Amino acid sequence: MKVYKRFKFKIVLVTFSFGFLITSCAKNQKAQVFTGEALGTTYQVKFFHDTELPIEKGLDSIFEVINRSMSTYQPDSDISKINTGDTSIVIDNNFKKVFKASEKIYLESNGFFDPTVGNLVNAYGFGPESRKDSLNTRIIDSLLQYVGLNKLKLTSENRIVKDLPGIYLDFNAIAKGFTVDVIAEYLNSKKVANYLVEVGGELVAKGSNMDSEEPWVVAIDDPLQKEGEREFEATLYLKDRGMATSGNYRKFRLDSLNGQRYVHTINPITGRSEKSNLLSASVLAKNCALADGYATAFMALGLERSQEMLSKIKDVDVYFIYAEDEEVKVFSTPGFKKVLRTE
């Protein structure tokens, strides 16, 4: 299996319950498992089918096509060419779908999910074009003029037009989830009815795990575990939905004055790296691309504004881990509570 030039993704907090899911076959359906590295992370695909399906070449093709379209780590990708000012690029259907999904979440989040934050991501040292000089208020303010998805337009000829040439588009906060969806569509085309697809911790599940004759089981990491530990905050059944988790609670800071836990997230409105009491956001949605984008948006919004946004959108359930009064607490929607395992 090839290893392609990578996307750089946010920290993965969801683990794929892989070891205990692979057992014997059931009901004449053979369990087939494919693992590897792509997009700068790992992937795992498990499905059941009554015949052997050699999908390695199909997976290779999916990763290659998405990298060629949307990898900011690949200089000759379409998105890299657009970022460097090439106005002749006609985007493919994958790029178009991700752009449209990004627009949706950008509007719903009032700009807190914004793929044009790429210049700031690079400035803070998290992207492929990290700055060498020190970051200060003057630099941040100068870069803010290039932030705003409303400063881009997708034309009827499928070209991206920028208001300012310096705008840097970065889909890394949604492209991994979208890739999961593309793999799921590929399995659907092969008439696979029961599968679990995971790329770097983002997942989509269909049908059941026929080994256990139950829905697929996935887990959310315990935010207080130490590096190298493998403790779960919760496990849940995942069926016919996408799931993504965003967060950086492994890198939280303790306030020296009040002992409160905080994480730092780049606010696309102010351009600043701001404190947030939301340590992680696990999201269930109708597909993984939306789950991925919403999870990123919630981390930027913080707990209270995320709860406000949730009251205005449909078909989204969440499991938030947050800090309050020097304690780690949980907020979850009724829909998420329904799928949590209690044993």
Give the per-residue pLDDT at 101: 98
Give the per-residue pLDDT at 4: 34
Decide which of 3.40.50.2000, 3.40.190.80, 1.10.3980.10, 3.40.50.360 is the CATH code for 88-162: 1.10.3980.10
Contact 288, 282 (CB under 8 A): no
Q: How far apart are CA 173 and CA 183, in angstroms?
A: 18
Give the per-residue pLDDT at 127: 67
Give the per-residue pLDDT at 321: 92
Pick from 6, 155, 124: which is nearest to 70 by CA? 6
What's the predicted TM-score (pTM) here? 0.87
Let me know if the fold of 14-64+175-238 is the same as that of 241-339.
yes
Question: In angstroms, what CA-CA distances link 281 with 158, 243, 293?
Answer: 33, 10, 11
pLDDT in tens, 122-162: 887 766 665 545 678 898 899 999 999 999 999 999 999 99
Give the per-residue pLDDT at 165: 95
pLDDT in tens, 64-84: 999 999 999 999 999 999 999
Question: In angstroms, what CA-CA distances link 109 with 63, 141, 287, 309?
Answer: 29, 22, 18, 7
Give the per-residue pLDDT at 230: 56
Q: How many CB atoms lie within 10 A of CB 40?
A: 18
Contact 149, 114 (CB under 8 A): yes
Q: How far apart are CA 318 and CA 234, in angstroms?
A: 13
Annotated binding site for Mg(2+): 173, 292, 296
Class of domain 241-339: alpha beta
Decide which of 3.30.365.10, 3.40.190.10, 3.10.520.10, 2.60.120.260 is the CATH code for 14-64+175-238: 3.10.520.10
Pick from 135, 129, 137: which is nearest to 168 by CA? 129
Can you list the residues of the chain whose pLDDT is less than 50? 1-26, 132, 251-255, 261-262
Extents of the domains making up the chain = 14-64+175-238, 88-162, 241-339
Question: In angstroms, what CA-CA distances link 318 with 27, 83, 281?
Answer: 34, 33, 7
Give the per-residue pLDDT at 7: 34
Pick from 312, 300, 198: which is nearest to 246 by CA? 300
